[in-house]
A and B are shown apart, each in its own frame.
Chain A
Amino acid sequence: MRKTCRPSRFVADVTKKVPPSGIRRYFDLASEIDDVISLGVGEPDFVTPWHIREACIHSLECGETSYTSNYGLLELREEISGFFTDKFTTTYDPKSEILVTSGVSEALDLAIRAITNPGDEIIIPQPSYVAYTPSVMFAGGVPVPADTCLENEFKLHAEDLEDVITEKTKALILNYPNNPTGATMGRKDLEAIADVVAEHDIMVISDEVYDCLTYNGKHTCFASLDGMKDRTILLNGFSKAYAMTGFRMAYALAPREIIASMMLIHQYSMLCAPILAQIGAIEALRNGTREMERMVRDYDRRRNLIVSGLNRIGLDCFVPTGAFYAFPSVESTGLTSEEFAERLLFEQKVVTIPGNVFGKAGDGFLRCSYATSREEIEKALARLEEFVEGL
């Protein structure tokens, strides 16, 4: 008789330390209820523009189904380089400073693993996207929250950053436009952060996947600030701007030494991003601006609709200037974020994500995605109003 196996005995300690995503729980709850209206979706409600899909179909017809360079198709890297040169006057060498990845999630994981030694501290402004803290933990690093607040429109302030820097600080993760708050940071705000990171010799991982979804003024690319290109691992992708979430297509731009280190991990784990998605990405960069701008104008209108609606209902909501999230406060109702979100789901069938899922600084807030149709937003607001009035 052979020994019986207890699989749980083999699970690595680090995975036991990382709590499951709070969003996952809401997915499970929402999945059990029929006819929900969801403001809980962190992806565009548009289908990928047809010309991008058609380019992919054509590539399949041509039999383009092979591996590509580990770095990604050179043609795509050249397009990405040209795009950044045109848009931000920041030039990256397609051969050594650009790595094409399977989604920003992979790029983020590679970036963190490429620079983190056990015990290194990585500062994460909160509320933050749910993957940052676990990614740091998986890499053996120590996530250090830096709180942002409503009074500062959820921008990271230099003093708050200074407060959490220690001799172990290795990097800062920036994510503007921000998921979950919809906050953006202008050039002046970012210059203050640049001064601090340069002073303390800290690396910056800047996740700018929502850069095209900026509504008041232009997005400032952190790497384009004076002296920041060599200090920045810039992450961006196609999911949000071109409605290509399912393609899993993104890239990292960084100094060659960092890209080489990320590449080392990437070539042994992912090998290369799917060629089909890379071809779609080339088409998006070459011919996707018009469709992208049309989608952004649509988001802008929905943003106005949801923010004015939330404020009318009595859920104070600052005006988000990027991404596709509104982040209203539920403090006036006397309920916690979790209580509010759960009761709203069960009583009115509206899915929102409680702010505390994104860190303690998100307590008392809700994330409401307006990446859904105008009709759905109007219905959701009507149900929200009924719910708040009934409290």
Chain B
Amino acid sequence: MDEKTRHILECLEEDARMTHDQIAALTGLPVQEVDKRIREMEGNGIIRKYKTVIDWDLAGDENVYAIIELKVSLERRLGYQALVERLYKFPEVRSVRLLSGQYDLSLTVSGQSMKEVAFFVAEKISTLDQVQHTTTHFVLKTYKEDGIILYEEDRVARLPVTP
């Protein structure tokens, strides 16, 4: 990845709504070149999706999130892949990660209530053949999401003029 491509990605990571004209001004590239590079990266999967980080608590959303740790048994020739594919197809499952350490997989699951999440885990996850053990941790508060701190930090004012 060259330096200019990194600049484009950092611009979009910081603000997905940034226009190609704005990115061109910031990177010093012609706007057609920015268009071309972004299209290429959308095509080859480097840019997966344009997302918004939302503070759902602040928006008054009642959704419940839980982190589920799974201990699993591996299948011959398939490793984790077959199980993981089953897991990430559930819309309730927001993320799936393979971990080192005591547990094998970590899922983030969302639902409209603790009861709904608990039932989903009991009925859909724990019942899978390869799943030996689950531990559910309900999220009580999110302080930081995707690198964004979800509360207003007081900014220290700078002097208007310094040497």
Question: B10-31 CB contact bits vs A (8 Å, 1 = yes)?
Answer: 1100000000000001111000
Which listed residue (A40, A47, A298, A305) contacts B161, Cβ 8 A? A40
CB of B160 within 8 A of CB of A304, answer no
CB of A38 within 8 A of CB of B25, answer no
CB of A131 within 8 A of CB of B26, answer no
Task: Considering the complex, give the chain A residue whose CB is closest to the CB of B10.
Answer: A297
In the complex, whether A300 has a CB less than 8 A from a CB of chain B is: yes
- Complex alpha-carbon distance, A31 and B6, angstroms: 38
Task: Considering the complex, give the chain B residue whose CB is closest to the CB of A129.
Answer: B163
B11: A residues at CB distance < 8 A: 301
A136: B residues at CB distance < 8 A: none
* Distance from A214 Cβ to chain B, minimum over Cβ atoms (Å): 13
CB of A23 within 8 A of CB of B7, answer no
With contacts A297-B6, A297-B7, A301-B11 taken as known, whether A21 is within 8 angstroms of B163 at the C-beta atoms is yes
A374: B residues at CB distance < 8 A: 26
Interface-centre pick from A26, A298, A309 (highest chain B CB count, 10 A): A298
Question: B130-163 CB contact bits vs A (8 Å, 1 = yes)?
Answer: 0000000000000000000000000010111111
With contacts A305-B25, A305-B26, A308-B28 taken as known, whether A27 is within 8 angstroms of B7 at the C-beta atoms is no
Which listed residue (B26, B158, B159) contacts A302, Cβ 8 A? B26
CB of B158 within 8 A of CB of A309, answer no
In the complex, whether A82 has a CB less than 8 A from a CB of chain B is: no
With contacts A297-B6, A309-B25 taken as known, whether A30 is within 8 angstroms of B156 at the C-beta atoms is no
CB of A300 within 8 A of CB of B162, answer no
Interface residues of B toward A: which range? 10 to 19
Question: A14-58 CB contact bits vs B (8 Å, 1 = yes)?
Answer: 000000010100110011000010101111010100000000000
- Complex alpha-carbon distance, A301 and B89, angstroms: 39
In the complex, whether A285 has a CB less than 8 A from a CB of chain B is: no
With contacts A297-B7, A297-B10 taken as known, whether A26 is within 8 angstroms of B26 at the C-beta atoms is no
A40: B residues at CB distance < 8 A: 160-162
Q: Which of A342-383 contact B (CB under 8 A)?
A: 351, 353, 374
In the complex, whether A164 has a CB less than 8 A from a CB of chain B is: no
A388: B residues at CB distance < 8 A: none
CB of A27 within 8 A of CB of B161, answer yes
In the complex, whether A196 has a CB less than 8 A from a CB of chain B is: no
* Distance from A310 Cβ to chain B, minimum over Cβ atoms (Å): 12
CB of A301 within 8 A of CB of B7, answer yes
B163: A residues at CB distance < 8 A: 21, 23, 42, 129-131, 179
Q: Which of A282-317 contact B (CB under 8 A)?
A: 297-298, 300-302, 304-305, 308-309
CB of A41 within 8 A of CB of B160, answer yes
CB of A41 within 8 A of CB of B162, answer yes
- Complex alpha-carbon distance, A374 and B26, angstroms: 9
Task: Considering the complex, give the chain B residue whose CB is closest to the CB of A131.
Answer: B163
Question: A43-84 CB contact bits vs B (8 Å, 1 = yes)?
Answer: 101010000000000000000000000000000000000000
A-B contact pairs, 23 of them (CB 8 A): A23-B161, A27-B159, A27-B160, A31-B160, A38-B158, A40-B160, A40-B161, A40-B162, A41-B158, A41-B159, A41-B162, A42-B163, A45-B158, A47-B156, A245-B162, A297-B3, A301-B11, A304-B25, A304-B26, A304-B28, A351-B160, A351-B161, A374-B26
Chain A interface residues toward B at CB < 8 A: 21, 23, 26-27, 30-31, 36, 38, 40-43, 45, 47, 129-131, 179, 245, 297-298, 300-302, 304-305, 308-309, 351, 353, 374
Enumerate the 6 nearest inter-chain pairs by beta-carbon distance, A residue then B residue, closest first. Answer: A27-B161, A301-B26, A30-B160, A304-B28, A40-B161, A38-B160
